């Protein structure tokens, strides 16, 4: 029986890895999700065959009830969630994984404190590490969810915030060392350890604003994977070890790529105030002024162009304008115009957010290009249409060393022959930094709701 269980776990791990590989391309992503799902179902079912599990019927019943309730809630919520709300769903579900890992550690460590179980020294250390990381991921992801959902509209940065976080981390780590050292511990110490870890996750995430959410979500994803892997060793479960390691390593790599795309170290994301909601307004004298354009004039400009690049941001997601953009691109292509969609790595509120929305709208994959590929082409672009994007097209990142986003790679929309910016109002972006692109001589502002503005462009092109 043990051999059969190990074979199923190994097969599930293979399915996890292959599924993750297939998710790297939009063409095969759906199949990758299905493969990984099959692997998860197989690993969950075979867990019931682990020695001793079926000996406790009442526990088995509770497990089945929990799985049924959790599956029903997840199915209904996932079916109903809007694509614009996908980042917060990812954040909270990822946090649940970290919370589950922390709960496993808590149960084992409480049993240890009460003398109900003995753990090997290495396993005891891994239980503490998994509990710490999982608890931080759980509470931090909950705060990220609240911010993205609009339940928490202001960031909170306490005086000496970094020092407070450092002190809390040292105290929490000290409690963890005491628990992991093998010395006799009490249930109260274990409880205090987890409470402090949960508070640490909250205090780390509270000062971080929406502009940094893609990196934060990716980082907590890596934390959850690492915590699950550690608790896999505690439970001697191969599937948890492999799945957690895969998620942890891929999440770490993605976090590094996201931070690189912003040209900022992870420490700057976690401990700097950039990304927090700040008051909008011009921070320095900006040459020029915002020049408004009517939809019909913008439509004429696009209809008689040879090359158009559309740059979406989170504002497009909020306005649900992706389907209208697809319709506009098709109209332009029917007129013989080359159309591409330029995606910045941190556009949106989670990694790959814009790609998901455009794929949902039916945009061809070969029309979606990344920053490195499209930037050299902007001098030959007749019209760059920016909808809902701000910091990722701000040229100040290339010119002003005093700017918080200086050095961050941006899309060179300012180098296009003409730039049209669809924007709801005249305020600064989510990070509160004024965008110099809006004041450029070659930029025109089309104010209004994103979906309605694109609909007006469509109507204007059809009249020509």
Q: Which residues are catalytic?
A: 391
**Integer Cα distance of 82 and 230 in angstroms:** 34
Q: At 343, is the secondary structure helix, strand, or coil?
A: strand
Can you read off the two tokens belonging to residue 41? 């179902």
Give the separation between CA 33 and CA 18, rounded to whole angstroms.
10
Strand partners for 339: 308
Q: How is residue 85 written in tokens?
A: 């709300």
- Of 157, 148, 257, nearest to 210 (Cα)? 148
129 is written with which tokens? 């590490």
434: phi then psi, degrees, rounded to nearest 5? -65, 140
Are residues 283 and 433 in contact, defined by beta-carbon separation less than 8 angstroms? yes
Residue entry with tokens 């004041």: 439
Coil, helix or strand at residue 385? strand
Distance between CA atoms of 373 and 389, rounded to whole angstroms? 18
Instruction: Report whether 388 contacts 344 (CB < 8 A).
Output: no
């Amino acid at each position: 029986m043990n051999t059969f269980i190990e074979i199923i776990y190994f097969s599930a791990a293979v399915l996890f890895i292959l599924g993750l590989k297939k998710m790297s391309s939009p063409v095969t992503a759906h199949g990758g999700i299905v493969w990984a799902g099959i692997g998860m179902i197989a690993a969950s079912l075979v867990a019931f065959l682990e020695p001793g599990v079926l000996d406790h019927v009442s526990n088995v019943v509770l497990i089945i009830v929990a799985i049924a309730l959790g599956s029903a809630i997840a199915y209904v919520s996932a079916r109903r969630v809007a694509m614009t709300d996908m980042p917060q769903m990812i954040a909270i579900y990822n946090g649940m994984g970290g919370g589950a890992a922390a709960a496993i550690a808590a149960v084992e460590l409480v049993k240890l404190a009460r003398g109900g179980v003995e753990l090997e020294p290495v396993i005891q250390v891994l239980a503490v590490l998994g509990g710490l990381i999982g608890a931080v991921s759980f509470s931090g992801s909950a705060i990220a969810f609240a911010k993205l959902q609009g339940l928490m509209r202001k960031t909170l940065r306490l005086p000496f915030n970094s020092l407070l976080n450092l002190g809390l981390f040292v105290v929490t780590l000290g409690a963890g060392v005491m628990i992991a050292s093998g010395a006799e511990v009490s249930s109260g110490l274990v409880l205090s350890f987890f409470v402090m870890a949960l508070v640490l996750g909250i205090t780390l995430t509270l000062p971080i604003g929406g502009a940094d959410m893609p990196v934060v979500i990716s980082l907590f994803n890596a934390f959850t994977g690492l915590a699950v892997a550690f608790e896999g060793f505690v439970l001697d479960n191969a599937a948890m070890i492999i799945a957690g390691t895969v998620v942890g390593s891929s999440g770490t790599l993605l976090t590094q790529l996201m931070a690189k795309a912003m040209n900022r170290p992870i420490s700057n994301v976690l401990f700097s105030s950039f990304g927090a909601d700040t008051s909008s307004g011009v921070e320095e004298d900006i040459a020029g002024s915002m020049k408004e354009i009517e939809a019909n004039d913008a439509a004429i400009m696009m209809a008689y162009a040879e090359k158009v690049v559309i740059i979406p941001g989170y504002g497009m997601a909020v306005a649900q304008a992706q389907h209208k953009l697809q319709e506009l691109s098709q109209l332009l292509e029917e007129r013989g115009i080359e159309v591409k969609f330029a995606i910045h790595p941190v556009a949106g509120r989670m990694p790959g957010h814009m790609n998901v929305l455009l794929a949902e709208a039916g945009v061809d994959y070969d029309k979606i290009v990344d920053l490195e590929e499209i930037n050299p082409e902007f001098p030959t672009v007749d019209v760059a249409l920016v909808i809902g994007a701000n910091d990722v097209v701000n040229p100040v990142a290339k010119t002003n060393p005093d700017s918080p986003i200086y050095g961050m790679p941006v899309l060179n929309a300012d180098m296009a022959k003409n730039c049209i910016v669809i924007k709801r109002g005249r305020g600064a972006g989510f990070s509160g930094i004024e965008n110099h692109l809006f004041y450029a001589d070659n930029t025109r502002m089309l104010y209004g709701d994103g979906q309605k503005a694109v609909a007006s462009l469509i109507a204007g092109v059809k009249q020509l």
